[in-house]
Structure 1
Amino acid sequence: MLKKLAHPIPGAQPRVRFDIPEEPSADADGALPDPSEPASATSMFRHPIYFGFMGTVGVGIALFLSYILANTQSLVLWIVTALFIALGLDPVVRWLEKRKVPRPLGIVLVLLALLGVVAIFFATLIPTIVSQTTQLVTNAPIWIKDFLNSDLFKQVDGQYHVLDTVNEQVAKFFQDAQAVGGIFGGVLGVGSTIANGLFGTLIVLVLSLYFLASLPSLKAWGYRLAPRSRRARVEELSEEITRGVGNYVIGQVCVAVLNATFAFILMSILGVPFSVLLAFVVALLAFIPLVGGMIAAIVVIAVSLTAGWQTALIYAICYFAYLQFEAYFVSPRIMQKAVAVPGAVAVISVIAGGSLLGVLGALIAIPTAAAIMLLVKEVYIARQDKH
């Protein structure tokens, strides 16, 4: 018998074994898993109660968030408005920072200048509005009396008995307790609406000041949410978006002021009544892109008809000529550093924003559309061009 070697032969290697792969194990029901089926789907069928519970929890969270948004819509609108104002004032603060003015002092200077302009404006506007409103209330009975004594009304009343019908309906109205109660309810509703408006204005001012003061830290905190490898690109895109929105707000303010100034000068020359009040209305409507100038023109033309159709015609010709001048010469030069949105996209975004959030939605529609277009261009299209 050969003795077993105490030491293996040098250079000898173990034989490689070619084992047959094991068959996939069957589940409890004896069914084999489908190789083409993803693992998540297999797990779903293995644990239907777990996935059903988690799906129900997800739906519940979505409904809860929808309920919160539906009941805090006013707060969301206030926050969006305050952020929009802060982004509009931020370029002015940055300009002061470049002139070696500390940011806190720059914010105080901008706030004082804004409050001063608003105070001067309303100090000039409110006495005029009160005076013109008093004239309207004083002259309204005289106008009504002259209309009732006119030959046209007498002729119409003789055929259709308008005055008797009006007296009869007024008597029925005051005999209806529910209708009279509705009047007092409407008055209380108007009072509560005014109170909510003042409270909302205060909240917006406080939030605007807070956002303006902490905007750099808020943006720095937001950039930390992005991955470190992409943080520089996210910061670059965000700075470009916020810069464009701020320039848009400042440009829109300049356009509205010029529009209202021209309208006030023209109304003063033509003798249109309530010129100060109408100039204030024109300034507010001019903030609405695309359609604000047209609406302001219709309102002022309707009022100027009381001074004669010649006055209304002259105002319409001059104001529509200014709108053309503004569209082709004023706005392009003021908005050259702001957002650039094609006309069709601007119209669609304004309509969609107005339908969703009203006037505020129409105001922020164009900068929002510009931000979306920038993201699509710099992220999606750039990624598609690499493939």
Structure 2
Amino acid sequence: MIDSPRWLWIAGLLLLGWLLYLLHPILSPFLIGVLLAYLGDPLVDRLERWKLSRTWGVIVVFALFSLILALLLLVLVPLLGKQLMRLYELAPQMIDWAQHQALPWVQAQLGLDDGFWRFDQLKTAFSEHLGKTGDIVGKVLAKVTSSGLALLAWLANLLLIPVVSFYLMRDWDLMVAKLRGLLPRNREGFVVKLAGECHEVLGAFLRGQLLVMLALGIMYAVGLMLIGLELGLLIGLLAGLASIVPYLGVVVGIGAALTAGLFQFGGDFYPLLAIAAVFVAGQMLEGMLLTPWLVGDRIGLHPVAVIFAIMAGGQLFGFSGVLLALPVAAVIMVLVRHAHDFYKLSALYGESSSASDEPPSPA
């Protein structure tokens, strides 16, 4: 048994997992580079079909990614920064509103005691920390600049991402072909089939679901800003990000938007109805157009599995684990499907099925 190739594979997988655990502090730029290369490879392949060389195709895709990043930095980040500061400033007022208007109404409806809600201490603590924002920023900057080596390492990792993704994207097809050439000849077809199923699940989720998240985030943000909600951009993008798990985005978004709307518009019914209409329209658009068109029915990743994978990856390996979570979950899902099929064809399943058909013996 010790000389069996199966045990060698198991030992190799355990060794790989141990190495990933040891190296996870430096894996982030490489994993982000792999992710960008994986997302950009179909675009480069399409440009190659249009008679463009592989290198020039990668340059075009890189230019597109850089343009999107520049737009985010120049337009979106300053707007989000202003809304985050506005939220920070409004937080004590929102606590005041909740304490003197919303919670007394809930207290009257539920018949709770007068001293049930205790928000005075929270409001006082928050107001004290609000005045120390400049001190906090100064301490953070002093901490970062005092450690020049850590700052250089962070900048090096940031600059490493485009370099890694460029070379991986350029040589993606060549690396896949070399890996396929290393597969055992008698198992090549089965392994290629498994890899194809994993690619279909992961590609549908990453490319499809990310586009759905982007479309919903834009729609929610634009709709809430047109209504006049002060924090519309922040809440809309937050709802779009939460849409990585189906139905979570609309729950998070409509809860936060209605809370902000109640605080801003008071008891005015029509703005609150318009907020609800934005999220209803977003759900209808997602269900009837975006998900069938961009994602389809190929994912097979249950929403609970997505949440667990992301949280488990973050707990075990930090940010690197979050990046690894969905690819590992996609591979596990494909393996579980095949294990289920093997079990249904096994003698164990047949014996338990036969035994269940026998009438129970009399007592």
Q: Which TM-score bucket, shorter chain as reference?
A: 0.5 to 0.7
Q: Which residue of 1 aligns with 2:75?
A: 124
Higher helix share: 2
* Cα distance in 1, alignment partners of residues 335 and 341 from structure 2: 9
Give the AA of the match of 1:80: L
Q: Which residue of 2 aligns with 1:100?
A: 51
How many residue pairs get aligned? The number is 302
* Cα distance in 1, alignment partners of residues 234 and 2 from structure 2: 69
Deviation at residue 366 of structure 1 after TM alignment: 5.2
After the TM superposition, which of the residue ranges 324-333 and 193-202 deviates more from structure 2? 193-202
3-state SS of paired residue (2:27): helix
Give the AA of the match of 1:339: R
Give the AA of the match of 2:57: G
Deviation at residue 340 of structure 1 after TM alignment: 2.6
Deviation at residue 283 of structure 1 after TM alignment: 3.9
* Cα distance in 2, alignment partners of residues 360 and 313 from structure 1: 41
Change (3 A) 1:245 1:90: farther
Contact 1:301 1:315 in 2 (8 A): yes
Q: Which residue of 2 aligns with 1:229?
A: 186
Instruction: Tell me the TM-score normalized by structure 1.
Output: 0.60
Give the AA of the match of 1:76: L
1:261 to 211, 218, 225: 218
Deviation at residue 99 of structure 1 after TM alignment: 2.6
Change (3 A) 1:166 1:288: closer
Contact 1:260 1:283 in 2 (8 A): yes
Over residues 76-122 of structure 1, what are the superposed CA-to-partner deviations in whole Å (9 max), with x where a residue is unaligned?
34433332332222222222223332222211111111211221233
Change (3 A) 1:379 1:230: farther
Give the AA of the match of 2:46: W
The root-mean-square deviation of aligned C-alpha atoms, in Å, is 4.8
Q: Which residue of 1 aligns with 2:65?
A: 114
* Cα distance in 2, alignment partners of residues 207 and 304 from structure 1: 45
1:85 to 36, 53, 70: 36
Instruction: Tell me the TM-score normalized by structure 2.
Output: 0.63
Question: Does 1:285 find its partner at 2:242?
Answer: yes
Q: Which residue of 2 aligns with 1:339?
A: 298
| Contiguous gaps of at least 5 residues in structure 1 | 1-37, 41-58, 153-159, 175-180
* Cα distance in 2, alignment partners of residues 203 and 324 from structure 1: 41
Change (3 A) 1:348 1:373: closer
**1:185-196 alignment, distance < 5 Å:** 188=142
Change (3 A) 1:351 1:244: closer
**1:1-387 alignment, distance < 5 Å:** 66=18, 69-129=20-80, 188=142, 200-287=157-244, 291-309=248-266, 310=269, 311-312=271-272, 314-323=274-283, 325-327=285-287, 329-336=289-296, 339-341=298-300, 343=302, 346-357=303-314, 365=325, 368-377=328-337, 381=341, 385=345
Q: Which residue of 2 aligns with 1:7?
A: none
Deviation at residue 214 of structure 1 after TM alignment: 1.9
Q: Quick one: percent identity of the two aligned structures?
A: 20
* Cα distance in 1, alignment partners of residues 341 and 15 from structure 2: 34
Deviation at residue 234 of structure 1 after TM alignment: 2.6
Over residues 42-81 of structure 1, what are the superposed CA-to-partner deviations in whole Å (9 max), with x where a residue is unaligned?
xxxxxxxxxxxxxxxxx9xx89984x64453232344333
Higher relative contact order (CA 8 A, sep 6+): 2
Change (3 A) 1:39 1:282: closer
* Cα distance in 2, alignment partners of residues 202 and 306 from structure 1: 43
Contact 1:293 1:323 in 2 (8 A): yes
Deviation at residue 341 of structure 1 after TM alignment: 0.6
Contact 2:204 2:299 in 1 (8 A): no
